[in-house]
Amino acid sequence: MKGPQIPRQRRFGALDIGAQLALLVALVLLGLWIAGNVRVNLESRQVGSGFDFLLDPAGFDVSESIIDYHYGDSYLRAFAAGMANTLRAALPAVLGATLIGFLLGICLVARHPMLRGFARVYVDTVRNLPLLVQVLLWYFSLTTLLPESANALNLGSALFVSKAGISLPLPVGNLSLWITLALAVGLVVAAWLLARRSFVPIGRLTLGTLAMAALLGFAVPRLTGVPYEVELPELGAYGYSGPLTLSPEYFALVAALTLYSAAYVAEIVRAGIQAVARGQSEGAHALSLTRSQTLFRIVLPQALRVMVPPYTSQVVNTIKNSSLAVAIGYQDIVSVATTAMNQNGRAIECIAIIGAVYLSLSLLVSAVLNVYNRRAGIQER
C-alpha cells in the first residue's frame, strides 16, 4: 500500500498555457501588422493622425443643435452637438416607448379579444419591419405630405406644422414657472409614496393629484404676481422657427423609434406579466380583488422584477438605433462623425469616437438600471 501522495494541481496543463501564449502572440502580431498597414495608408493619403484635429475649425454646420454651435467652431464642439442630438432623439423615444409599450403590453394580456388582437397585430407588424424602412416611410410622408411654410397648418398662432417642421410654443422660464414645476414634482412624489405605502385606490389618487395640479397652476401666478408667459413661433425667411421647432428629420426619427421600441417593450411587459405564477391571480381572485387591483397591486410589482434585465437591453438598443439618423440627415453623433471623417480624412479617430460614445452610453445605462435591479432583489445570472 502506497503512502499518501502530495496534492496534485489540476489547474492548467502545459498544453493550456502554450495555447494561451500562442493566442497572445498571434494577437500581438496581428496588431503590429495592422499598425504597419495603417501607417503606409495614411502616408500615401497624406493624412495626419491623432486627436489634435478636434481643436481645428469644422467646415460644416450642424443644423438644429441644442448647444451653441456655429460654422467654424471646433470639431470638438461639433461632436458635442452631435452627441447632444443623439440624446435629444433617444431619450424622448425611450420615454415614449416605455409609456406606449407598457399600455400595449397590458393590452396583450387583456381579456377582451379585440384589445389583444389589435395589440398583437401592431406588435407583430412593427417588429418584423426593418426600423430603417419605418424611419424612411415617416420621413417621406412628412416631407411629401406636409404643406409649405406659407400654407402651414396651424392651431391659432401657437402651433405650426409645415415642411419646415413642427413649431411649438415654449413657456418662458420665469419665477412662477419654476415654483409651479417644483411644487408639481413634489406633488407627484408624494402621490407615488402614498400609493405605495397605503392602499388608497389608484384611480381616486390620480384624479386628486390632477385636481391639485390644476389648482396650483391657477393659484401660483396670482400669488407671485408673475403671470405665465409663452414664446410663440415666428415666421422667418426659411419658414417657421421658434423656441421649439422639430424638424421633419427629427420627428420622423423619434416617431419611428418610439413606435418600434414600444413594440419590444410591449413584449417584455407581456412576458413579465405571464411569468408571474398563475396562483397569484387566483389568490387575488379568491380575495375578491378586481382585475385591475390584481394587476396593479399583485401582478405588476412581481412582474417588474422579471422585466428589468430585458428592459435594460431594450433601452440600450433604442439608444443605438437612434444612429439610423444618418440615413435621413438628422445630425446625431454618427452623422457628425461621418461628415467630419469625409472632410479631414481622420477616419480611424472619428470611428473611435463613435465607438467610445456608444460604449460609454451602454455602460452608463446598464449601471444605472442595475442599481434598481439589485434593489428589487432578483437573482440575475
Partner 1 sequence: MHPSPSAWLPRLCRTFFSDAASTVVTLISLVLLLWGAWALLSWGLLHAVFVPDNQACRVASGACWGVISEKYRLILLGRFPYEAQWRPVLGTVLMVGGVLCIASPRFWNLKGLAVFGASVAAMVVLMAGGMFGLDPVGTDLWGGLPLTVLLSVLGCMLAVPMGLLLALGRRSKLPVLRAVCVAYIETVRGIPLIAWLIFASFVLPLFLPPAWQLDLMLRVGATIVLFAAAYLAEVFRGGLQAIPRGQYDAAHALGLSRFQTLGRVVIPQALRMTLAPTVNIVIGVLKDTALVSVVNLYDLTGTLKLALSDPDWQIFFVETYIFVALIYLALGNGIARYGRFLESHNVPTHHR
Partner 2 sequence: MSKPVIEIDSVDKYFGTFQALSGVSLRVDAGEKIVICGPSGSGKSTLIRCINQIEQHDTGSIRINGVEMDASRQAVEARKQVGMVFQQFNLFPHLTVLENLTLAPVLVKRKSLGDARAQAMKQLDRVRIADQARKFPGQLSGGQQQRVAIARALCMEPTILLFDEPTSSLDPEMVNEVLDAMMDLARLGMTMLVVTHEMGFAQAVADRMIFMDEGRIVEEAPPMEFFERPRNERTKAFLGKILKPAST
Q: Are 326 and 334 in contact (CB under 8 A)?
A: yes
Quick one: cell of 249?
428629420
Q: What's the Cα-to-Cα distance from 91 to each of 139, 192, 261, 301, rounded to whole Å?
A: 20, 23, 12, 25
Residue (10 or 375) nearer to partner 2, CB: 10
For partner 1, the closer CB: 87 or 341: 341
Restricted to residues 326-365, the positions that interact with partner 1 (CB under 8 A) are 326-327, 334, 338, 341, 347-348, 351, 354-355, 358-359, 362-363
Cβ-based nearer residue to partner 2, 10 or 111: 10
**DSSP SS3 for 240:** strand
Choose from partner 2, partner 1, none: what does 162 bind? Cβ within 5-8 Å by kind. none
- x/- contact string, 4-43, with partner 2 (CB under 8 A)? xxxxx-x---------------------------------
Residues 79-138 close enough to bind partner 1 by CB under 8 A: 111-115, 118, 124-125, 127-133, 136-137
Residues 128-167 that bind partner 1 (CB under 8 A): 128-133, 136-137, 140-141, 144
Q: How far is the CB of 16 from partner 2 (least distance, A)?
A: 13
6/371 with CB nearer partner 2: 6
Dig out the grid coordinates for 318 from the structure.
Answer: 433604442
34 binds, among partner 2, partner 1, none (CB under 5 to 8 A by kind): partner 1
Distance CA(6)–CA(137), nearest Å, equals 73
* Number of residues in contact with partner 1 under rule CB under 8 A: 53
Helix axes 175-197, 202-224, angle to 10 degrees: 160
Burial of 10 (0-12, 13-18, 19+ CB in 10 A): exposed
6 binds, among partner 1, partner 2, none (CB under 5 to 8 A by kind): partner 2
* Residue found by looking up cell 467652431 in the block: 73
Give least dist CB 18 to partner 2, A: 17
Q: Which is nearer to partner 1, 241 or 373 (CB)?
A: 373
Q: Which is nearer to partner 1, 36 or 57 (CB)?
A: 36
Cβ distance 256 to 327 under 8 Å? Answer: no
CB 269 within 8 A of CB 106: yes
The CB-of-27 to partner 1 minimum distance in angstroms stands at 7
Site for partner 1 in 301-330 (CB under 8 A): 320-321, 323-324, 326-327
- Per the listing, cell 486627436 goes with 51
Residue 250 DSSP SS3: helix
Cell of 243: 423656441
358-365 long-range Cβ contacts below 8 angstroms, 24+ apart = 358/319, 358/320, 358/323, 361/316, 361/319, 362/316, 362/319, 362/320, 365/312, 365/315, 365/316, 365/319
User: Per rule CB under 8 A, is residue 18 in the interface with partner 1?
Assistant: no
CB of 3 to partner 2, least distance (A): 8
What are the cell numbers at 127? 417588429
**Shortest distance (Å) from residue 12 CB to partner 2:** 12
Segment interacting with partner 1, rule: CB under 8 A, options 23-31, 52-60, 153-161, 368-376: 23-31
**Number of amino acids touching partner 2 (CB under 8 A):** 9
Residues 6+ apart with CB under 8 A from 31: none
Backbone φ, ψ for residue 164 (5° rounding) = -80, -10
The CB-of-237 to partner 1 minimum distance in angstroms stands at: 26
Hey, what's the cell of 183?
A: 411644487
Give 93: exposed, middle or buried? Use CB within 10 Å, 0-12, 13-18, 19+: buried
44 binds, among partner 1, partner 2, none (CB under 5 to 8 A by kind): partner 1
Residues lying near partner 2 in the complex (CB under 8 A):
1-8, 10
Residues lying near partner 1 in the complex (CB under 8 A):
12, 16, 19-20, 23-24, 27, 34, 37-38, 40-42, 44, 111-115, 118, 124-125, 127-133, 136-137, 140-141, 144, 320-321, 323-324, 326-327, 334, 338, 341, 347-348, 351, 354-355, 358-359, 362-363, 381
